[in-house]
Chains A and B, each alone.
Chain A
Amino acid sequence: MELMRSHVFWFVALGILIFVVDEQVSDPLDTIVVDAALERNVAALWAAQIQREPTAAELASLVQDWIAEEIWYRESVLLNLAEGDEIIRRRMIQKMQFIAEQEAASTPTDAELRAYYQANQSRYELPSTISFEHLQFQSRDIAIAALGAGESPEAMAQSSMLSRVNVRQSPREITSAFGPDFTRSLGILEVAENWQGAIQSNFGWHLVKVLELNAPAIAPFEDIRTELGADYLYDARMKAQEDFIDQVRPNYDIVR
């Protein structure tokens, strides 16, 4: 009974058992198969580098090299050298992800692509744009005075670094050129034939003529077909990866 309680006893007993079982089930020697397909591969790789087919002697030597490499490789597997090697880990992850993505990787049919487009329209929104003309003034007072002067407000305007006529500019483009305050103020003006303002930019005060407002729109299907195809595949691949993890994760006990 004392013996049965000893950890050392169980350790030794289990060790003997594993040894015996292992001896029974495994081959005395590992097998390395050298067949015609392998020889063809070795020869083709060599030919790609050297630009001619190997002679019989060269091929025999190449095969010997390959066998030696295979033995190196198998011995490294026996010693579990892949463990903790980040490069091998990454490569194995990539291979597994690629396998998991395989089903998703087929090119979508036209119907699938249209359904995808319908479901993801917000991603293909073209921004709102504004076309406007502006004049720049040194101060708000001068700008207001120019507005009142009616006839030719440009006579009182100052030189501006900013383009006078701006066609179909997105809020982002307007902000880059004029600053955020101007974009905000411009956004509440209506299309009109007369000068409006004054509104302030990073550089001074402006009178503005709003020529055109274009509401945001969804890009037409035909215009973005290529982009849709790429997005569809990318999403499908990511989805396949997620599904795979969701499916397999229960097999793992996460211990913290």
Chain B
Amino acid sequence: MKQRTLVYFSALILTACGGESDTVNTGSATVSDAVADASAATAAAPAETAAAQPAEAVPPPPPLSQMTMPTDIITAQPGKNATRTALFGDLHVHTSYSYDAFAFGTLATPYDAYRYALGETIKNPAGFDMTIRVPLDFYAVTDHGEFLGVSRQVADPTTEISKLLQLGYMQNLNAPEKQVPGGTRERTQAFREFAPDTLRMIANGTVTQDFVDDITRDAWADTIAAAEQYNKPGEFTTFVGYEYTATADDRGNLHRNVIFRDADKLPAVPFSRLHSRNPEALWDWMDGLRAEGVESLAIPHNSNGSNGQMFKLVDWAGNPLDDAYADQRTRNEPLIEITQIKGTSETHPMLSDTDEWAGFEIMPYRIATNLFSEPSGSYARQALLNGMSQEDKGVKNPFEFGFVGASDTHMAAMPDDETDFYGKRGLLDANPQLQGAVPLSPEAGAQLLETSPELAREFEAGIYNSAAPITWAASGIAGVWAEENTRESIYNAFRRKETFATTGTRIKVRFFGGYGFTDSTLAAPDMIETAYRDGVPMGSDLLPASGGVPSFIAWATQDALSAPLQRLQIVKGWTVAGEPHEKVFDVACSDGLAVDPQTHRCLDNGASVNLQDCAISAGSGAAELKTVWTDPEFDPAVRAFYYVRVLENPTCRWSTWDALREGFPPRPDFPATIQERAYTSPIWFRPATG
């Protein structure tokens, strides 16, 4: 793949060099013209646009090239697209300001993070280069709010705080000679003990709270400055954000990322788990800021590792959820992360036993532990169902959320390449032995078996590290449908929940629910205009129409740098008197295959992967899948949600790529291949009341 791209690249160099200098001079102005043209074209019907052209003596008149723009506007911008464009980004990125990322060896700053998202190369702590596969449209650095920027200072022996705290394990933790792959006792201490040690020393007066807060304030100001420096309306959007990292008593994960709409007015310090471990207190804080004109939203993540805490049906105090709780939660949390490096949070095979694709990149642990996480209460699909059951009981729905994907990288760099995945924890994941994709050296294997037998697994090829990293996924990305690449436009898409998640590839997917969509709607040039006019997009409520059966437009296109698409599915969930039900419908199949009307499954398209070299079979799969679908089991009296899941043909999992490179067979206890996928936010059908 890389070689092929090089060939195209050279082709472009040749043509570009063959061009005359005047094309370069006039280039920018031409771009601006087109921008204006495109805006005009979307704003007015084509005929009117032609009529509105200023009369100029330009030979054969292609109507869109005649408009002139003032020469002072030469910044090329794609302009507004009324029917919205798919933009890709990551809202979950840690840098050296996070105390854990620093413990993993990360030195990259928020500035480095934004440079990486734009396509520049930055260094992994182990010294190798990291370059994104395809640059992103938006990015948010979200370092842990607690002790933001503090550990970096404590490690530097010249700072005041390092002299006060005297934490031996932190001293020069990331000096150059210590930037080698693997964990050390100091790194483990820096990860596990830095926070409690610092808290204890605040409590016993070794250092004052104000002293620590001042460091956090500076780091937060620098985080904002970096976001401001790289935010370029129309080209690249940054958001100011941070992670609220609360954990329940059972170590169930309650983490959220807080994303601010604007950067001109912000809190001086983030509300962290040091202020309260109760997420409801976070929402109170956000509500208070909102009243002062500071708009934000929180995105929960790794519900899969929450041991049932993220979507439990009681509040922090243990009382049943009521309308006030639902209002506050949905007001502050319109989205959740459904896929990231630490696994899938869509659903679990134990919760969705009729969904053959439920067992995808399941991460079975509570976050940052090797303890099992209870699936019930930890996955999105079940929460969507439970939310509707609440409504059946006459209580407002607290779980009416849309989906995004994210990476949760702790190296500033979102890894988006399955063929070359270096984990998320810097030095701790810096080679395939550490990640568990290939066996350890015989000596290291024997050592692990002796010291931590529960983390070692032995197969024919040797002893493998079997801690959490082998369960991780090279995932994911947030997709939004936005008019333009600006904070306002993208943030509004978050609020509308017009968002989708992918597991790392750039699949694009649209989803509309409405009445009267037909195959001819699909073929029309104004299909999207019709869909918005006569229906609602992903993330919305679909209201009943008297006697009408809703129809859905589902449409996905492939990432041409990955595998083609295999099947387009609609996942339906519904409740009858509080009782939850779910079903997966294949609605469009690749290769002209039909959906079996009994099983609602596409026939096998025969796609395969050669495990000798990860080559994918040619000749099967689709560049796009597009259909109008009507629910054959629709009942106008029943509450339901629908979301699209689209699957690529199988490709090698990252661990298989690593194994092949090192000359080992793929690890036998993990799938050798995966099916990359995308999920849209749901559309909720609400029956008429009464």
A residues engaging B (CB < 8 A)? 45, 47-49, 51, 84-87, 89, 94, 98, 105, 127-128, 130-131, 133, 138, 150-152, 154-159, 161-168, 170-173, 175-180, 183-184, 187-191, 193-195, 202-203, 209, 211-216, 224, 227, 230, 234
Contact = CB atoms under 8 A, between A and B. Distances in A.
B119 A202 contact: no
B127 interface: yes
A227 B623 contact: no
Given A161-B86, A165-B34, 7 more contacts: A152-B49, A157-B525, A159-B526, A161-B508, A175-B8, A177-B560, A212-B30
Interface stretch (B16-24, B241-249, B277-285, B661-669): B16-24
14 contacts: A51-B204, A94-B177, A131-B34, A152-B46, A159-B527, A162-B557, A163-B81, A170-B135, A176-B133, A187-B14, A193-B58, A193-B65, A213-B15, A215-B19
B324 interface: no
B166 A165 contact: no
Interface stretch (B441-449, B490-498, B650-658): B441-449
A188 B375 CA distance: 54
Given A187-B11, A187-B15, A180 B121 contact: no
A86 B506 CA distance: 42
A178 B86 CA distance: 14
Interface stretch (B72-80, B95-103, B140-148): B72-80
Interface string B3-35: 011001101111111010001101110110111
Q: Chain A interface secondary structure, helix, strand, loop or mixed?
A: mixed
Interface string B523-552: 111111000000000000000000000000
A224 B119 CA distance: 13
Query: Which interface class (under 10, 10 to 19, 20 to 34, 35 or more) fits B?
Result: 35 or more
Nearest to B111: A226
A190 B62 contact: no
A87 B528 CA distance: 61
A131 B27 contact: yes
B50 A151 contact: yes
Given A193-B30, A211-B31, A215-B17, A128 B9 contact: yes
B176 interface: yes
Contacts of B166: 47-48, 51
A45 B16 contact: no
Nearest to A209: B34
Contacts of A184: 8, 11
B60 interface: yes
A178 B558 CA distance: 9
A155 B63 CA distance: 12
B623 A202 contact: yes
B218 interface: no
Contacts of B351: none
Contacts of B676: none
B466 to A, nearest CB: 19
A128 B525 contact: no
A241 to B, nearest CB: 12
A62 to B, nearest CB: 14
Interface of B: 4-5, 8-9, 11-17, 19, 23-24, 26-28, 30-31, 33-35, 37-38, 41, 46-47, 49-50, 58, 60-65, 76-79, 81, 83, 85-86, 119-123, 127, 133-135, 166-168, 176-177, 180, 201, 204, 206, 235, 441, 443-444, 447, 506, 508, 510, 523-528, 555, 557-561, 623-624
Contact of A175 (B5, B50, B526): B5
Given A86-B443, A151-B63, A167-B76, A216 B16 contact: yes
Contacts of B5: 171-172, 175
Contacts of B443: 84-87, 89
Nearest to A105: B176
A172 B510 contact: no
A155 B81 contact: no
Contact of A187 (B8, B78, B79, B176): B8
A133 B38 contact: yes
A179 B560 contact: yes
A49 B168 contact: yes
Q: Which 3 pairs, one residue from A and one from B, show the smallest C-beta to C-beta distance? A: A86-B443, A212-B27, A48-B168
A102 B164 CA distance: 31
Nearest to A186: B12
B62 A193 contact: yes
B81 A87 contact: no
B19 A190 contact: yes
B623 A128 contact: no
Given A172-B5, A202-B623, A212-B28, A87 B50 contact: no
Residue of B65, B527, B624 with most chain A CB atoms under a 10 A cut-off: B65
Contact of B167 (A48, A171, A213): A48
Contacts of B168: 45, 48-49
B31 A131 contact: yes
A46 to B, nearest CB: 10
B41 A214 contact: no
